[in-house]
Amino acid sequence: MGTRPHTVYAFSGAVARIAFAILCFPLLLTAAPARPAKSTWGQAQPKPALNLPPFDAARAFDDLKRMVAFGPRTAGSPALAKTREWIEGQIAAAGIKVEQDKFTAATPVGNLDMVNLIVRVPGSSPDVVIVCGHYDTKRFDRFKFVGANDGGSSAALVLELARVMAKRPMPYTLWLVWFDGEEAEREEWEGADNDYGSRHMVQTLSAEGELNRIKALILVDMIGDAKLDIRVDPGSTAWLTQLEFNTAQQLGYGRYFLANQQVAVGGDDYDPWLAAGVPSVDIIDFNYGPNARSQPGDRDWNIYWHTAQDTVEHCSPQSLEIVGRVVLGMLQGLVSSPHLR
């Protein structure tokens, strides 16, 4: 029903039925649109302002810089071990318990010891929502890759979310997860040479009969880009994508979350979860470069990705704050979601 004023008519008997048909006929003619409607992602109806806890973007950006200072953080490397120890120290300093999920992965460069990190925030319901990102960096021999955005930004954002949410339990159970071994150990992403930590966790939960507890997974990746432009990922679960873009619109971030543009990611840590039937969404800026409005095929499209130019100078605390607040809004929105009932 629209917002225009309407008139109430009172009739009786057959006259009423005839009058009702006459009144409704024009509405029936216009009820079905002649062409498919545009996507409503990012076009939520006005709601009261979200009352979100503060997200300390300056601290998160300091965390990003601290991790970059460890240098290339490939799976199984001493630098990643130091990074992990530092993350655990930050979590412990906030009075939060963190668990290590250790495993050994067979990779093209040999067996590598890997470790996922997990913070569990119990809720009144055993249903679980996961917010996650990877903390390793891509292995390159040709140049020094420090992964400020691709690896650093996701690890920093999940760390700050852990500080925020650990003392604010939700009705559902919340897990904050740092995945090891997201990046391929070879130059190209192919086959099973990727998502090692994510696949291990899905396999473990399946073996334990616990996978059906996971009701939603929110993945963040490459979200520190100073020229932030997050597009719709067509591989993500539709209802979580709608929640993502509606939340961004509600928070006034429509210029950074481009609801009318799509970019296929082509592989990320949510793949094992989607394959296992877990609703999942990838919040990712897959145009890491100097122009936030580049399109696939443009000369400046995604040109910092997996290059020596993935540095702190090309990231910003504002981007971390925008995405951090959107994730916080999504966590709040999931409280009343029919998908968690």
Query: Are the C-beta atoms of residues 195 and 212 closer than 8 Å to each other?
Result: no
Instruction: Establish if 77 belongs to a structural domain.
Output: yes
Instruction: Establish if 324 belongs to a structural domain.
Output: yes
Q: Which residues are bridge partners to 173 per DSSP?
A: 128
pLDDT at 58 over 70: yes
Instruction: Establish if 293 belongs to a structural domain.
Output: yes
Question: Sign of the C-alpha dihedral, residues 211, 90, 152, 260?
Answer: positive
The proportion of the chain whose per-residue pLDDT surpasses 70, expressed as a percent, equals 86
pLDDT at 183 over 50: yes
264 vs 190, more confident? 264
Our measurement of the distance from residue 103's CA atom to the centroid of its chain's CA atoms, rounded to an integer in Å, reads: 25
Q: Would you place residue 4 in the very low, low, confident or very high pLDDT band (cuts 50, 70, 90)?
A: very low
Q: Which residues are bridge partners to 221 per DSSP?
A: 284
Name, in order, each residue with C-beta under 8 angstroms of 131's C-beta and a sequence gap of 6 or more: 158, 161, 174, 175, 176, 177, 218, 220, 327, 331
Residue 28: its pLDDT value, please?
31
* Count of domains observed in the chain: 1
Instruction: Establish if 44 belongs to a structural domain.
Output: no
Residue 41: its pLDDT value, please?
52
**What are the CB-based long-range contacts (under 8 Å, 24+) for 307-313?**
307/143, 307/145, 308/143, 308/144, 308/145, 310/145, 310/146, 310/147, 310/148, 310/149, 310/150, 311/68, 311/146, 311/148, 312/64, 312/65, 312/68, 312/148
Query: Are the C-beta atoms of residues 200 and 103 closer than 8 Å to each other?
Result: yes
When the pLDDT of each residue in the chain is averaged and rounded to a whole number, the result is 88
Residue 51: its pLDDT value, please?
87
Name, in order, each residue with C-beta under 8 angstroms of 109's C-beta and a sequence gap of 6 or more: 139, 185, 186
Residue at 66: amino acid letter: R
Instruction: Establish if 226 belongs to a structural domain.
Output: yes
Query: Are the C-beta atoms of residues 114 and 105 closer than 8 Å to each other?
Result: yes
Mean pLDDT of 120-139: 97
Instruction: Establish if 16 belongs to a structural domain.
Output: no
DSSP 225: B
Residue 307: its pLDDT value, please?
98
Lowest mean pLDDT among 1-15, 112-126, 249-263: 1-15
Residue 25: its pLDDT value, please?
32
pLDDT at 236 over 90: yes
Phi, psi at 103, each rounded to 5°: -160, 165
Tell me the pLDDT tens digit for each residue of 299-333. Answer: 999 999 999 999 999 999 999 999 999 999 999 99
Instruction: Establish if 249 belongs to a structural domain.
Output: yes
pLDDT at 2 over 50: no
Query: Are the C-beta atoms of residues 234 and 313 closer than 8 Å to each other?
Result: no
Degrees, nearest 5: CA angle 213-215-218: 125
Q: Which domain holds residue 187?
A: 57-332
Query: Does pTM top 0.85 for this prediction?
Result: yes
pLDDT at 16 over 60: no
CB atoms within 10 A of CB 245: 27
Q: Would you place residue 243 in the very low, low, confident or very high pLDDT band (cuts 50, 70, 90)?
A: very high
CATH number, residue 69: 3.40.630.10
Q: Which residues are bridge partners to 154 per DSSP?
A: none
pLDDT at 40 over 80: no
